[in-house]
Copies of this chain bind each other. A is one copy, B any other.
Amino acid sequence: MNKKFNVSTPSGFPEFCPKREKVRQQWIKVISETYASHGFQPIYTPLVERDENLVGKGGNPKEIYALRRLQATDEDKSHSGNALRFDHTVPLALYVARHLNDISFPFRRQAIGPVFRGERAQKGRYRQFDQCDIDVIGSENLSFFHDAEMVAIITKIFTKLNIGEFVIRINNRKILTGFFADLGISADKIKPVLDIVDDLEKLPPAKIMENFAEQGLTNDQTNKILEFTNVTGEPTEILNYLKGINGGEDFTTGVQELETVLTGIKALKVPAQNFIVDLKIARGLDYYTGTVYETKLVGHESLGSICSGGRYNDLAKIFTKKNLPGVGISIGLTRLLGQLFDAGIIQADTASPSHILVVPQDEKLVPNAIELSQQIRDILGLSVETYLDKKKFVKKLDYADKLGIPFVAIIGEREIENNSFVLKNMTTGEQNTHSIENIESIMGELIVF
């Protein structure tokens, strides 16, 4: 070492050790397979896009990472530049714009992978993080039954992941904005008022009242909004309450859309405890125009929403003339896993994918150990590691223990003579000699997947 290198990860860029990475990959498998079970096709879009497209679709230039070669080339100097994607939605919009004529709509696509945002680094905030998205994109129109399917998919995923009780909260932006308009709130105040509603659970009541007043709302308007957004009840009760209000066109459309969503959710047999209609839900993002969702873990509401999404009018307006309505959801995987590990809600157990470590008693027997390992792999389809290096016997067992490998198969001179091996259960400490001929039945009994 001539120079002292700082080997730590750059701030905000996470690293997962094998134990946690194993969990991350298991989660991705569950999420991806559930998405696929509803017909969502994966596409592969680059991590890098033209910077003007990212900014054009609303990316914040202060948070977008631009690329430039460390030692700039002529190309870098002449060319407007590329940058890292900050979500999966802009790449989807670009993909759809490129392939408009080949795509069969409705287009159901899944995207799981890293996105990058140069936010201020702080605990629980990452600059590189995995998002797991699905979206359905329609050509010119898209049934609100798709919005119902999202609720069933979220339910299936978190049920399979077994992280405890959760509730998906559903609303429709048009119901809120229509209600505001019907109260006489002017068009330019609708969005600021929506943002105040979005903060209802985050800010103290006094601050909320102050914010409403700042927008020039009367006490009567403020009280009506608070009363409306606090309505509780079974989904059908809330739907009936909404149908009883004599609202304007926007409001009425929103209620009809919500009705379709609830009809779909019923047909999908989503358990009643997993969803509610919550008229407080607004979601911050500008582009939602209909259904909005968020998902809270019961008893861990402070974690924030673990899966959010909604309906938008137009995916790719700036890139194509075609009207492309869509609905989508997103799981912020890296952040969620980080939070669940920190809160002790999930644990990472073992590092190694191996079921068995085959250990030769001395170095001469390594080829025999290799042969036995390959036999176990081929016959039983198990993951097997062979201890190949020269080490004290106890160190070899220690290795299996540290990596959480559940079984060790030991062979010495005597075992080779008798065509046998000693199988040690690393959890119980029990060990027995078995004939290699019976390997299939022995392993089959012991190792449960």
Within 111-126 of A, Cβ neighbours of B (below 8 Å) are at 114, 116, 118
> Is B66 touching A10 in the complex (CB atoms < 8 A)?
no
A69 contacts B118, C-beta separation under 8 Å: yes
| Contact across chains for B64 and A44 when beta carbons are under 8 A apart | no
**In the complex, A63 has a CB within 8 A of chain B:** yes
29 A-B contact pairs sorted by A residue (CB < 8 Å): A6-B53, A10-B48, A14-B44, A16-B44, A20-B44, A21-B41, A21-B44, A22-B41, A22-B42, A37-B384, A39-B405, A47-B114, A61-B69, A66-B70, A67-B67, A70-B83, A104-B399, A104-B403, A138-B389, A143-B389, A145-B370, A145-B386, A146-B388, A148-B370, A152-B374, A264-B366, A264-B370, A267-B367, A267-B370
A36 within 8 A of B: yes
Enumerate A281-303 residues with CB–CB distance to B below 8 Å.
none
Which residue of B is nearest A390, CB measured?
A: B143
Which 8 pairs of residues, A with B, have the shortest CB-CB distance? A39-B385, A13-B46, A16-B44, A61-B71, A36-B353, A18-B41, A267-B370, A61-B70
Task: List B contacts of A186 (CB < 8 A).
Answer: none
Determine whether the beta carbon of A5 is less than 8 Å from that of B52: yes
A174 to chain B, nearest CB (A): 20
A59's nearest neighbour on chain B, judged by CB, is: B70
Task: Report if A9 contacts B (CB, 8 A).
Answer: yes
What is the bound-complex CA distance between A2 and B390, given in angstroms? 70
Number of interface residues, chain A, beta carbon within 8 A? 116
* A253 at interface by CB-CB < 8 Å: no
Q: Does A304 contact B (CB under 8 A)?
A: no
Any B CB within 8 A of the CB of A1: yes
8 A Cβ contacts from A196-242 to B? none
A37 B264 Cβ-Cβ under 8 A: no
Q: Give every chain B residue within 8 A of A70 (Cβ-Cβ).
A: 51, 55, 61-62, 64-66, 83
13 extra interchain contacts, Cβ-Cβ under 8 A, other than A5-B52, A48-B128, A267-B366?
A2-B318, A7-B97, A13-B46, A17-B99, A25-B42, A36-B383, A38-B377, A39-B352, A48-B127, A65-B67, A106-B388, A145-B388, A267-B370
Within 8 A of B (CB), among A3-32: 3, 5-10, 13-18, 20-22, 24-25
Give complex CA distance A237, B381 in Å.
34
For window 92-106 of chain A, which residues contact chain B by CB distance below 8 Å? 94-95, 97-99, 102, 104, 106
Q: Known contacts A65-B69, A267-B367, A403-B104; is A15 also within 8 Å of B145 by CB?
A: no
Indicate which residue in B49, B68, B118, B385 contacts A65 across the interface (CB closer than 8 Å). Answer: B68
B contact residues around A383 at 8 Å (CB): 36-39
Does any Cβ of B come within 8 Å of A108's Cβ? Answer: yes
- Asked if residues A16 and B43 are in contact (CB atoms below 8 Å), the reply is yes
User: Bound state CA distance, A273 and B319, in angstroms?
Assistant: 53
Residue of B nearest to A57 (CB): B5
Task: Tell me the chain A residues, 353-385 only, with Cβ under 8 Å from chain B.
Answer: 353-354, 357, 366-368, 370-371, 374, 377, 381-385
A405 to B98, CA, bound (A): 23
Q: How far is the CA of A5 from the CA of B319 in the complex (A)?
A: 6
Which of B95, B148, B319, B377 contacts A37, CB < 8 Å? B377
Residues of the B chain whose Cβ atoms lie less than 8 Å from the Cβ of A45: 9, 15
Contact across chains for A384 and B7 when beta carbons are under 8 A apart:
no
